[in-house]
Structure 1
Amino acid sequence: VVVEAKSSKVKEPISEAIDQLMRYMEQRGVTGEGNKELFYYNQFIVTTCRTEAKFGTITTGIEKYFYRWYDPYPLGVNDLDHGKSSPNDQQRLVAGMLAPRNLLDIIRVFTVFASNDKGQKIKVVGRYQQFRAVKVATKRLIDGKNPLERGGIIWHTQGSGKSLTMMFMVREMKLRPALMSWKIIFVTDRTQLEEQLAETGQSIGFTIKPAHFINPRSTPDGKSLKELLSNDNSDLVMAMIHKFQENGELSGLEIFPELNKSAQVLVMTDEAHRSQYSLLAANLDCALPNATSIGFTGTPTAKTEKKYKDYIDKYTMRQAIDDGVTLEIVYEGFTHNAEVADKKGMDQKFEDVFSEYSLTERLQILGFGSRDAYLDSSRTIQEKAESMVNHYVEHIFSGGFKAQVVANSRIAAVRYKAALDTALAAKLAELKVANPMLVNLTQLAALTTAVVISGSHNDELEIKAYTSAEYHKKSIKRFKLPFGKTDAEDKALDGNVGIIVVNNMLLTGFDAPIEQVLYLDRVIIAHNLLQTIARVNRVGPAGKERGFVVDYVGVGQHL
């Protein structure tokens, strides 16, 4: 561990300390100015000026990715020798990271190598809330006398690294003699988590078995969920919700029989508040009557609390913002809520939008389903798309950031793409005449849009064009890349997708730091709303100081 300490009297002590560490590591582009051999076996680096202290790794080149270690767990704040004043950041970090036992645990369990959005290999060290949650959870697994005492909820706000916490949990269990023989089952609908676990599993020597089907095939191959649950192997099983949905098994799910009575089974559910998990979760309870359940969520609900009873660890949105792990979100309302002041004006608007419909059809629209009909209307979408493009080009695009549009339905998402393409072409033509903000017109001309929506067997052709898994994968890769860049593995994929349109997909678990604004044109409430707006709270490239949610449907009251 290399520590660079500065006087608190220095104007910008942390920035100066980081720059000095970069010089030592010869990462400023000048060969021979430092001693990079010193860092060949470096675990992490620390910058401190006593009142402020942060840590990073040899691949952390930007100050915003250096983090505090706020909690000295297993010590409490009052255990620190801090005199009359409150413990400062340096005291907390030294106690939490450099205590011999904690340091060895950080090296063995809480350090991973991963690839960033640019395809670069980076070194990641877990943060204090991940360390604390894993330590508390494994202690409960060992000390608890029944499944309820052993399980609980890990409430870590969106963007704070729940996926990595799960990785660290598996590593910790595999190093504990009392837990290394346990079977671990993940219930998730995130392909990203499946890929991360596959990489982590290889690095620490255990096998991951993804269950793509619930029921055994006509020729049993040991790969269905029921078959994987029935044995006592100390393996890791992935129950992939979205794959069960694609196979049509989730909707017609029958009650599971009892498959495994062992108490050495842990079920970890990602985003445990989700309603689509409820049926599968109930079946897992029947199949594994003595299993322990841990739910991971950023937005716990009353149902979550009822199932899991107790909280293992909490890390709130405010804590994450204070730590610099996530960004503040600015809300902008571009429409009013349900109370209509100008009802005459609204009637006129309705007549304008639905003039091509017959009287009978208009009466039907005014009744049940009127909101959906209005939100799916091509004319309404075109007007909103023009507003979105104006906002995006004037406030977001020049910073190199990207946008997500949440449409009311799948057909609305498809219509939004056409409307956005038209609005972008019109904006480009307008700026060619007068460009006072000096927008990069070459880049704007290259900007494209994409749609990521789910599919079904009876889809119309205009919807089916945007439901391919391969198209989704390529579109998401292009969206995450910076403008003008190409994918490291596939040079045919460029970063010119600037706006991605969705309906239900990519609203949870989608991590794209380059996304700064979300245009919301679908009514979403409660925990689902918090999950959705968190798409823009990720710490991103230079210049991203906050995220924006622009509301076109009037959900401000629900926030």
Structure 2
Amino acid sequence: MAAADDKNNNMLVSASGSDDAQEAALRKAFALGAGRQAWQHQIEAVQCLLRILTRDTEAAGVQSNMLVQHAAGSGKSMTMALLVHVLHTLRDSNNNSQGRRVALIMLLSDRLQLDQQLGDTVEGFLRRAGTLQGEFRRADLGGLSIAKALGDAAADLGGRCLVVAATKQKFERLLRHKQGTSSSDGLGHAGLLAPILGRGRVVLICEECHRAHFHGSATALAVARLFGSGSGLGRQQPQGLTYIGFSATPNARALRFFGRAGNLQASGGEARLCPSHCYHLGQAERDGVVLHVLENYQSFDFSQDSIDRKAAWLLDDLAGRAAQFPLGFARVLKAMVVCRSRADVVAYVAALRNQLALSSMRLPEDEKATPSPEGCYGVFGFFSGEICGESEDHLNARIQLKDASKLARILVVCNKLETGYDEPRLAVLYLDRRLESAVTAVQVLSRVNRHAAGKSRAFVTDFHGRQKEAGESLAAFRTEVTLATSPGRSEEMAPLWELEAQLQEIVCGRKAASAEAAQSLFTKYKGLCKQLRMPCSKRLARFVTVSAAASTLAALGSGAQDVGSFAAAAAAPVVFVEEQVAQRLLGG
């Protein structure tokens, strides 16, 4: 970097520099990296996080994780990119050109699509902002292995601050090796990454932290073991390592792990856990940063109609919606269909393609766009795994996720691309599934709330008549989300929270488990509740029933469609309620 740029970078984190000078430097860095001007909340969020991080660095024994609650569509990815740029250029207290306060920055996501999307955003930002290219490592399909990326950091390559982007699942696998044998990656040893903390702070930036269940998870265990001393179970968060979580819809688990302690409440001596910085949905709507998705929300009860009939109606409706946009945007407009199951995705894709093959209906097309493969008609399906011998790869003519999502004019999804998918051209949403929680509803509806040239509105059609519930879900996150909890109980409650996270994974269909395994976890949960004198949530009684029913259906060959519907029906918030504690719409 040029000397002038180094001066600006130092000003970003200088404790003695004025707030105005720091803001000016941040705005300059953002304009270079993003190619546009920053919104005020993006600058304020990074300033807030830097203040907390600087305070913790200078105060011995003080360590804080941080939570950023920013509305979906308000530029979280670019805010994270600016934060990475600033942390990467963060100098030590002596402003030594070779010194860093941060030795390693990790970007952790829990899905490949998010990992690729966030990696593209941050890598592009750092390149345009002048950050050294060799210091950004991607542990994705086209990049280095995570072992190589973290091995470089552990090897202290010239004392540089490295930035590593990876999924949390890849990080967790670093500790999965047989007892008594070395890991194939060479990193399965406790304490192997601890030397990094000897050179500076490690910052883990966690995307969609409401969903990744970091507290008590395999990720937290891997972090503690690899960066810790290796003694004991190694579950304690190593000193000098900070988690920063980002979410539009923080839940109780996210607040417990990432939230900061607010003031004690007068009644009951409760502590309130809060985001470090909040720019909630209500503020984003008022500022015009995102669109109001309920303004053009239509609700019907098509739940009993066949998929063929719904597909035909959908195409007619979509043609009418496209006609309400300027032609320039109509040519690139995208729609999303949210399905109840993977089997429904396959059926919808087939029905939509058949309808398009037999009719003259076509969306306006951009002549410069890459044409859709023959027979696809711009309709692509997205789901994980296989159903009845059909996979996403085969359904989409062997086109990879990243390219298929770009080519698609109609995306048909089930539990994929429903969270974190950032596509401003997505303007029409069809819901053929009851959204199981407030968190899920806000995340799914927010896929269409981005602004784009020629896009001044978004359209939502609900096939299950749940407009009232959608409004209530959005209202829950039009304010700062906090959690009231009894102070001083974090350590003894950690095993209980870990069991909750495991049970939630099973009931939402993200983790397979037999009825016996679910029964065992449930029994442990009840035992811990009794031991800690905590009331056990009555909703947890549904775990055993749902798991047993799902196993029976699978054994009878009824298919994943029915199993998935059982899981969706039982995916109510799974939380325990502490005595004298109020939790408002927080367990989703």
Normalized against structure 2, the TM-score is what? 0.57
Paired residue for 2:570? none
Give the deviation of 1:253 after TM superposition: 8.7
* Residues 439-469 of structure 1, C-alpha deviations (whole Å, 9 max, x = no match): 97999x9992322424548972565413677
Paired residue for 2:82? 168
1:318 to 2:282 alignment:
yes
* Residues 138-175 of structure 1, C-alpha deviations (whole Å, 9 max, x = no match): 11111124787432101111011111111111222233
User: 1:143·1:150 contact (CA, 8 Å) conserved in 2?
Assistant: no
Separation of aligned partners in 1, 2:174 and 2:360: 46
Unaligned runs of 5+ in 1: 1-73, 75-94, 115-122, 338-348, 350-378, 432-438, 480-497
User: 1:211·1:237 contact (CA, 8 Å) conserved in 2?
Assistant: no
In structure 2, give the amino acid aligned to 1:192: Q
Give the deviation of 1:335 after TM superposition: 2.0
1:423 to 2:355 alignment:
yes
User: 1:513·1:538 contact (CA, 8 Å) conserved in 2?
Assistant: yes
Separation of aligned partners in 2, 1:323 and 1:332: 25
1:136 to 2:48 alignment:
yes
Paired residue for 2:117? 192
In structure 2, give the amino acid aligned to 1:527: V
Distance 1:284 1:425, change over 3 A: same
Give the deviation of 1:198 after TM superposition: 2.2
Distance 1:268 1:396, change over 3 A: same
* Residues 113-133 of structure 1, C-alpha deviations (whole Å, 9 max, x = no match): 55xxxxxxxx21221111111
Separation of aligned partners in 1, 2:323 and 2:466: 25
2:377 to 448, 453, 471: 448
Q: 1:9-408, aligned counterparts within 5 Å?
A: 99-107=20-28, 109-113=29-33, 123-144=35-56, 145=59, 149-178=63-92, 179-188=100-109, 189=111, 190=114, 191-202=116-127, 203-205=130-132, 207-212=135-140, 222-223=147-148, 227=151, 230-231=154-155, 234-241=160-167, 244=170, 249=173, 257-261=190-194, 262=197, 264-275=201-212, 278-288=217-227, 289-290=238-239, 291-310=241-260, 311-330=275-294, 331-335=297-301, 380-399=306-325, 400=330, 401-408=333-340
Separation of aligned partners in 1, 2:224 and 2:301: 45
Q: Please say which of residues 302-311 and 280-289 is displaced more in the overlay.
A: 280-289
Q: Secondary structure at the match of 1:204?
A: coil
Give the deviation of 1:251 after TM superposition: 12
Count of residue correspondences:
380
User: 2:427·2:459 contact (CA, 8 Å) conserved in 1?
Assistant: yes
Unaligned runs of 5+ in 2: 1-12, 93-99, 179-187, 228-237, 261-274, 474-588
Q: Secondary structure at the match of 2:148?
A: coil
Separation of aligned partners in 2, 1:423 and 1:467: 17
Q: Secondary structure at the match of 1:112?
A: helix
Distance 1:223 1:212, change over 3 A: farther
Paired residue for 1:504? 415
User: 2:432·2:462 contact (CA, 8 Å) conserved in 1?
Assistant: yes
Q: Please say which of residues 165-174 and 142-151 is displaced more in the overlay.
A: 142-151
Separation of aligned partners in 2, 1:461 and 1:201: 39
Separation of aligned partners in 2, 1:185 and 1:244: 12
Separation of aligned partners in 2, 1:223 and 1:459: 38
Paired residue for 2:547? none
Paired residue for 1:30? none
Q: Please say which of residues 309-318 and 447-456 is displaced more in the overlay.
A: 447-456
User: 2:384·2:416 contact (CA, 8 Å) conserved in 1?
Assistant: no
Separation of aligned partners in 2, 1:415 and 1:242: 32
* Residues 65-104 of structure 1, C-alpha deviations (whole Å, 9 max, x = no match): xxxxxxxxx9xxxxxxxxxxxxxxxxxxxx99xx555324
User: 1:398·1:440 contact (CA, 8 Å) conserved in 2?
Assistant: no
1:546 to 457, 472, 479: 457
Aligned residues: CA RMSD: 3.9
Give the deviation of 1:300 after TM superposition: 0.6
Structure with greater contact order relative to length (CA < 8 Å, sep ≥ 6): 2
Separation of aligned partners in 2, 1:103 and 1:241: 33
Separation of aligned partners in 2, 1:264 and 1:147: 13
Separation of aligned partners in 2, 1:279 and 1:469: 32
User: 2:175·2:222 contact (CA, 8 Å) conserved in 1?
Assistant: no
In structure 2, give the amino acid aligned to 1:257: A
Q: Secondary structure at the match of 2:205?
A: strand
Normalized against structure 1, the TM-score is what? 0.59
Separation of aligned partners in 2, 1:106 and 1:441: 37
Separation of aligned partners in 2, 1:194 and 1:332: 36
Separation of aligned partners in 2, 1:160 and 1:187: 20
User: 1:520·1:551 contact (CA, 8 Å) conserved in 2?
Assistant: yes
Q: 1:486-497, aligned counterparts within 5 Å?
A: none
Separation of aligned partners in 1, 2:377 and 2:299: 26
Distance 1:326 1:469, change over 3 A: farther
In structure 1, give the amino acid aligned to 2:341: S
Give the deviation of 1:549 after TM superposition: 2.2
* Residues 269-310 of structure 1, C-alpha deviations (whole Å, 9 max, x = no match): 011111465432443244332211110111110110001131
Distance 1:249 1:397, change over 3 A: farther
Distance 1:250 1:518, change over 3 A: farther
Separation of aligned partners in 1, 2:69 and 2:45: 9
User: 1:329·1:547 contact (CA, 8 Å) conserved in 2?
Assistant: yes
Q: Secondary structure at the match of 1:413?
A: helix
Which protein shows a greater Rg?
1
